[in-house]
Amino acid sequence: AQSVTQLGSHVSVSEGALVLLRCNYSSSVPPYLFWYVQYPNQGLQLLLKYTTGATLVKGINGFEAEFKKSETSFHLTKPSAHMSDAAEYFCAVKNGYSGGGADGLTFGKGTHLIIQP
């Protein structure tokens, strides 16, 4: 079964500083990994995804993430935080549906990113 652990329910950074949100996963199959962002009173929007190929993936709004198989990690980074980045961020792994397992994505518990002026 798949699982996702996000380290830190709240992360606070200063505007202009590096953003690092941590995600570790467990998967019984080669993982497809995702980062979603949720702004207040909105649904979830895809930031980026890793399926196969290049392990460093770039997403929207200047975010990127690197898949590290040896560390079972998929950490999200952004070189310089902006006030508009304040939101809830979710890491997710695709469920390995196979004759009885659930479909869809398994999500982490989320990290609330706070940007200090």
Partner 1 sequence: DADVTQTPRNRITKTGKRIMLECSQTKGHDRMYWYRQDPGLGLRLIYYSFDVKDINKGEISDGYSVSRQAQAKFSLSLESAIPNQTALYFCATQLGQGATGELFFGEGSRLTVL
Residues near partner 1 (CB under 8 A): 9, 32, 34, 36, 41-46, 49, 51, 90, 94-95, 102-110
Residue nearer to partner 1 on the CB measure, 17 or 49: 49
- Least distance in angstroms from the C-beta of 87 to partner 1: 14
In sequence order, which residues have a C-beta less than 8 Å from that of residue 7 and are 6 or more positions away?
A: 22, 23, 24
Provide the strand spans (E) within 10-110.
Answer: 10-14, 19-26, 33-38, 44-50, 56-58, 64-68, 73-78, 87-94, 105-107
Q: Which CB sits closer to partner 1, 14 or 28? A: 28
Closest CB to partner 1 among residues 79, 97: 97
For the CB of residue 66, give the shortest distance to partner 1 in the complex, in Å: 18
| Collapsed DSSP state (helix, strand, coil) of residue 85 | helix
